[in-house]
Amino acid sequence: MSRVLNTVSGSAQKWLDGLPHGSITCFSDFKIAFLRHFASSRKYQKTDHCLFALKQGSVEPLRSYIKRFNQVAQDVPSATSEILMSAFSHGLTEGEFFRDFIRNPVKNFNEMLEKVANYINVEEAQAARRKADKPPPSTNRPERRAPQLPA
């Protein structure tokens, strides 16, 4: 047991120091108590349900949604290409991309990513055009003069 005392640190050391004296008599006791206490800190593997819970925001750009989706998808190793495509489309807001995705289905997730990339390019080009067409805020305002009475 003295080896364990020398190798734990931080919150594990605090926990161990707080145990009643004599409550740990062997490594098996330590293992059971440790796992019971720190089980909530364990990182659990995400399931397909996490993917279906993702929704694109009403004004969220496609780039942002696919980025969030891919971050969660990395933690769901059991998800097949079909599940990924289904979950992704389930979370899409209605719009041009959603309609095209339904009208022209893709064969696999990689093909879908290509389609998403093309639409992201269009979205970003449209946003850049809107920004360029918007007149800059005027900084040269004409000076207001008080009306003058005729002489």
Whether the predicted model's global pTM rises above the 0.75 cut = no
Pull the structure tokens for residue 73. Answer: 């998808």
Res 112: pLDDT: 93
Higher pLDDT, 68 or 47: 68
**127 and 98 inside one domain:** yes
Pull the structure tokens for residue 129. Answer: 């055009």
**78 and 15 inside one domain:** no
Cα angle for residues 51, 54, 60 (degrees, 5° grid): 140
Average pLDDT score over residue span 106-113:
92
User: Which pLDDT tens digit goes with each residue over 51-71?
Assistant: 999 999 999 999 999 999 999
- Residue 144 inside a domain? The answer is no
Domain of residue 19 covers 2-41
- Residue 74 inside a domain? The answer is yes
Res 3: pLDDT: 52
Q: Give the chain's mean pLDDT.
A: 83
pLDDT range class, residue 12, cuts 50, 70, 90: confident
Per-residue pLDDT at 114 exceeds 80: yes
Q: Is the CB of residue 60 less than 8 Å from the CB of residue 95?
A: no
Higher pLDDT, 45 or 55: 55
**65 and 105 inside one domain:** yes
- Residue 101 inside a domain? The answer is yes
**36 and 55 inside one domain:** no
Res 142: pLDDT: 60
- Residue 66 inside a domain? The answer is yes
Backbone torsion region of residue 60, taken as left when φ is above 0, otherwise alpha when ψ lies between -120 and 50, otherwise beta = beta
Q: Is the CB of residue 113 less than 8 Å from the CB of residue 84?
A: no
**53 and 127 inside one domain:** yes
- Residue 118 inside a domain? The answer is yes
